[in-house]
Amino acid sequence: MASILIVDDEKNIRTHLTTYVHGLGHTAEAVADGPAALAALGRAEFDVVFSDVRMAGMDGLALLREIRRQRPDAVVVLMTAYATVAQAVEAMRAGAYDYLVKPFSLDHAGLLLARVLEVQTLKRENRRLRRAVDEPVLLESASPLMLRALDTARQAAGSDVTVLLTGESGTGKNVLASAIHGWSPRQRGAFVTVACTTLAEHLLESELFGHVKGAFTGAWKDKPGRLEAAEHGTVFLDEVGDLPLELQGKLLRFLEQHRFERVGGGETITVDARVLAATNRDLEADVAAGRFREDLFFRLNVITIRLPALRERPEDLPALIDHVLATLCSRHRRPALSLAPEARRALHAYRWPGNVRELVNTLERAVVLSRGDVIQGDDLPDRLLAPDAGTATPEAAAATPLSLHELERRHIEQVLADAATLEEAAARLGINVTTLWRKRKRYGIE
């Protein structure tokens, strides 16, 4: 059963379409104009919106754009008695799924609705499978460290305070950020991620705050930023420690006032969005070194949640391995695979410097390359089978504990030395090539 919103200023169309939708076994709500539709969308979730184009005040195209801004995943079908090729193109560009030309038969509307719902079902299933593979951190943990982090996250979710997630790369900070949004009163709003490491500085500023036409070469029209897309929702700043100093001041102002200007623009925009942030860096050290603003650090650091490294939660490893293996088999259309004893021993003995992300990459390689129904030790990367893969040398154990930065620098150097290409090294580290290039520059690694 689906939930349908019908928007039309003609009462007969609202009545007949609502009755027909009810007859198909779905629920429906009918309203007469755009503002009433937005109010309905604010109260409830709808699978499909059928909207007239020509309405007084806010027309169907304006309503469509507002729906796409507030609910990017919403499916909108436009209804019009004045269909033209230009109007159809404009509707598709604005994000409409399809359109119905009045007068249309109810059976035609029913066939279109069935197609929409079938596509939505497939998309939900694909998202579920993708989340199962890309977000394999089990939020039901047996680790005291992880349980403490999850408990703090659930408590923080009910408020609008800024949360800073820390921990090594690959520990699942993005997964926990998404969970906090899902547990929060803002769950109906958008969850918007901004990767602070993947774009050049001027492009990152435009991505975050938007720009106006002519602000820079290639800015051929006004473009809203990711902050605006997070209205009434949550914006997640991934690897905020890599945000350039020039942008840190602008972000600080947004955190304090929820206001900003687009790049090249003079109009002040106010956005109601909660901010979550994550970093694998020691921000206090960066503050001391002048690489990160102290006032921004304190503004982000209202509630800090540290996610433990995978090697710190060994009690979770067996369930995590089985979970990832099962979902990868489903993704790659392989029958259920099991692990040979020596392969499982190697997985448990390894220290996983790349954390959960490295575990996923390792098991995905094994699922793709294994020839039988059992993953053997030979199907795993050589680094897992080395005699010292899971243990530190006595000299290393007796040494003074290294800082997180030094550990990361040494690990990157080792992976770069072992990998044939930068792409291979980035894949092993669970980051993209641009991020690897920046880390090499930061640590002075040639």
88-130: per-residue pLDDT in tens?
A: 667 777 778 888 888 888 988 888 898 888 877 776 666 655 5
Shared domain for 157 and 12, answered yes or no, is: no
> Is residue 138 one of the residues assigned to a domain?
no
Q: Residue 370 and residue 150: Cα distance in Å, rounded?
A: 35
Q: Residue 96 and residue 77: Cα distance in Å, rounded?
A: 6
b/e burial code for range 60-73 (CB count within 10 A of at least 16 → b): bbebbebbbebbee
Judged against a pLDDT cut of 70, whether residue 198 lies above it is answered with no
| pLDDT tens column, 396-435 | 434 445 566 677 778 888 888 777 777 778 777 777 777 7
Judged against a pLDDT cut of 60, whether residue 85 lies above it is answered with no
CATH code at 55?
Answer: 3.40.50.2300
Query: Residue 298's CB: how many other CB atoms inside 10 A?
Result: 11
Question: Where among 290, 306, 322 does a domain terminate?
Answer: 306
Query: Residue 356's CB: how many other CB atoms inside 10 A?
Result: 25
304 token code pair = 């800090």
Shared domain for 110 and 162, answered yes or no, is: no
Shared domain for 155 and 300, answered yes or no, is: yes
Instruction: Name which of 71-85, 315-329, 349-363 the model is least confident about.
Output: 71-85
Q: Residue 416 and residue 424: Cα distance in Å, rounded?
A: 9
Q: Residue 381 and residue 435: Cα distance in Å, rounded?
A: 23
Judged against a pLDDT cut of 50, whether residue 394 lies above it is answered with no
Q: What is the pLDDT of residue 310?
A: 92
Kindly report the average pLDDT of the chain as a whole number: 85
Question: Where among 239, 273, 306 does a domain terminate?
Answer: 306
Q: How many residues are given for the chain?
A: 446
Shared domain for 76 and 221, answered yes or no, is: no
My answer on whether omega of the bond before 308 falls inside 30° of 0, hence cis, is: no
| pLDDT tens column, 288-318 | 999 999 999 999 999 999 999 999 999 999 9
- The whole domain housing 444 covers 393-446
> Is residue 166 one of the residues assigned to a domain?
yes
Residue predicted with more confidence, 246 or 402: 246
Shared domain for 153 and 272, answered yes or no, is: yes
Shared domain for 154 and 21, answered yes or no, is: no
Tell me phi and psi for residue 317, to 5 degrees: -60, -45
Q: How many CA atoms lie within 13 A of 206 on its CB side?
A: 20
Q: What is the pLDDT of residue 402?
A: 54
Question: Where among 306, 333, 352 does a domain terminate?
Answer: 306
> Is residue 83 one of the residues assigned to a domain?
yes
Shared domain for 196 and 266, answered yes or no, is: yes
Shared domain for 195 and 71, answered yes or no, is: no
| Structure-token match 């997180």, residue found | 404
Judged against a pLDDT cut of 70, whether residue 58 lies above it is answered with yes
Shared domain for 252 and 207, answered yes or no, is: yes
> Is residue 446 one of the residues assigned to a domain?
yes
Shared domain for 9 and 124, answered yes or no, is: yes
Shared domain for 148 and 297, answered yes or no, is: yes
In this prediction, residues 323-340 reach a mean pLDDT of: 90
CATH code at 234?
Answer: 3.40.50.300
**C-alpha 173: how far from its chain's center?**
11
Q: What is the 3-state secondary structure (H, E, C) of the chain?
A: CCEEEEECCCHHHHHHHHHHHHHCCCEEEEECCHHHHHHHHHHCCCCEEEEECCCCCCCHHHHHHHHHHHCCCCEEEEEECCCCHHHHHHHHHHCCCEEEECCCCHHHHHHHHHHHHHHHHHHHHHHHHHHHHHCCCCCCCCCHHHHHHHHHHHHHHCCCCCEEEECCCCCCHHHHHHHHHHHCCCCCCCEEEEECCCCCHHHHHHHHHEECCCCCCCCCCCEECHHHHCCCCEEEEECHHHCCHHHHHHHHHHHHHCEEECECCCCEEECCCEEEEEECCCHHHHHHCCCCCHHHHHHHCCEEEECCCHHHCHHHHHHHHHHHHHHHHHHCCCCCCEECHHHHHHHHHCCCCCHHHHHHHHHHHHHHHCCCCEECHHHCCHHHHCCCCCCCCHHHHHCCCCCHHHHHHHHHHHHHHHCCCHHHHHHHHCCCHHHHHHHHHHHCCC
> Is residue 139 one of the residues assigned to a domain?
no
| Structure-token match 């039309």, residue found | 8
CATH code at 428?
Answer: 1.10.10
Q: What percentage of residues in the chain have a pLDDT greater than 90?
A: 43
> Is residue 261 one of the residues assigned to a domain?
yes
309 token code pair = 């490294």
Shared domain for 170 and 237, answered yes or no, is: yes
pLDDT band, very low/low/confident/very high, at 388 (cuts 50, 70, 90): low
Q: Residue 99 and residue 101: Cα distance in Å, rounded?
A: 7
> Is residue 163 one of the residues assigned to a domain?
yes
> Is residue 136 one of the residues assigned to a domain?
no
Tally the domains of the chain: 4
> Are 356 and 317 in contact, with CB atoms under 8 Å apart?
no
| pLDDT tens column, 334-352 | 999 999 999 999 999 999 9
CATH code at 352?
Answer: 1.10.8.60
Q: What is the pLDDT of residue 14?
A: 92
